[in-house]
Amino acid sequence: MDWGMKNRLSRLIQADGKALFLPIDHGYFQGPTHKLEKPGETIKPLLQYADAIMLTRGVLRNCVDSAMNKPVILRVSGGTSVVGEDLANEAITTSVEEIIRLNASAVSMSVFVGSKYEHQSLTNLATLVDACEDYGIPVMAVTAVGRELEKRTARYLALCCRIAAELGARVVKTYYCEEDFEKVVDGCPVPVVIAGGPKVDSQLEVFEFVYDGMQKGAIGVNLGRNIWQTEHPVAAIRAIRTIIHDNYTPEEAQSLFEQVKAGKA
Ligand code: 5RP
């Protein structure tokens, strides 16, 4: 592997082999998402606990201080919206020159396996990988399901992750599933990070799925709404960080969460 590629990956995946990515890219198809209306404000107290942030060029340029020192994973696919016909009909939205200009450490894009636009999104991935590999920039593929959240079974996710890796993604982001998640990770030859999905009811539930996913081989998370849409985002991210980097159990993480919430840690 080339030095530049290795260096960028090492900025994202920490020395312990783990990673906590904080995505705030939701506006690219959802508009001003709840609690992300002012992304710069949302991330201010959270950035120090994240290993990288994932966002579009528009939010990066307009809402994030250029002196910040966290690596950037630039979302470079889009062209659809929640009120449009089909979320899967995405294109690549950012040139390699722009990716380099913005000093991205990686880029990310969605693939929609099994959708009407499967071929388009997968060939977009291959084209993006070709363009980015020339400059040592890793591509993280996002296995997207659009509105069909019920698709998130191990069989389907394993298929998506493997295809994304075969097409050259250096990291794959996928959903957690309770049953057989280890098969998803085991069938994927590149590191897997867990996406959060819609906000769940209790904080402990998040700690449990992150912990279980890590036990089954994920290297970390790319978790947004279950951090910044919660009542106590700083307590949430700090607790999740301990599961990822300090091997905390869900109960230990919950205990830290309560302490931070109470201003005691
Ligand atoms: C949107 C994305 C988000 O980055 C991803 O869904 C992670 O965020 P969340 O934890 O809120 O689901 O890729 O397409």
In a domain, 76, yes or no: yes
d(CA 185, CA 188) in angstroms, rounded, equals 5
What is the tally of structural domains in the chain? 1
- Whether pTM > 0.75 for this model: the answer is yes
260 assigned to some structural domain: no
Q: Which of 13, 8, 35, 14 is nearest to 24 (CA)?
A: 35
In a domain, 237, yes or no: no
For ligand 1, whether the C-beta of 195 sits within 6 Å is yes
For 26, other C-beta atoms within 10 Å of its C-beta total 23
Rounded distance, CA 168 to CA 161, Å?
A: 11
The answer as to whether 93 is a domain residue is yes
> Does the pLDDT of residue 198 top 90, yes or no?
no
User: How far apart, in whole angstroms, are the C-alpha atoms of residue 250 and residue 189?
Assistant: 27
Supply the pLDDT for residue 196: 87
Q: What digits encode the pLDDT tens for the residues 90-136?
A: 999 999 999 999 999 999 999 999 999 999 999 999 999 999 999 99
In a domain, 258, yes or no: no
- Provide the residue range defining the domain that includes 102: 3-192
CA of 226 to the centre of ligand 1 (A): 10
From the alpha carbon of 23, which atom of ligand 1 is closest?
4
Note the pLDDT tens digit of each residue in 6-33. Answer: 999 999 999 999 999 999 999 999 999 9
pLDDT at 126: 98
Query: Which positions are catalytic?
Result: 173
CB 172 within 8 Å of CB 191: yes
Backbone angles phi, psi at 83, to 5 degrees: -100, 0
Place of tokens 């089954």: 216
User: Domain holding 154: CATH number?
Assistant: 3.20.20.70
Q: CA 148 to CA 176: how far, in whole Å?
A: 15
Is residue 9 in a domain? yes
Ligand 1 proximity of 25 Cβ (cutoff 6 Å): yes
Q: Is residue 222 part of a domain?
A: no
Q: In the predicted model, is pLDDT for residue 149 greater than 80?
A: no
CA of 26 to the centre of ligand 1 (A): 6
User: Each residue of 31-64: pLDDT tens digit?
Assistant: 999 999 999 999 999 999 999 999 999 999 999 9
Specify the residue with its C-alpha closest to ligand 1, atom 12: 197
pLDDT digits (tens, 9 = 90+) for 199-242: 888 999 999 999 999 999 999 999 999 999 999 999 999 999 99
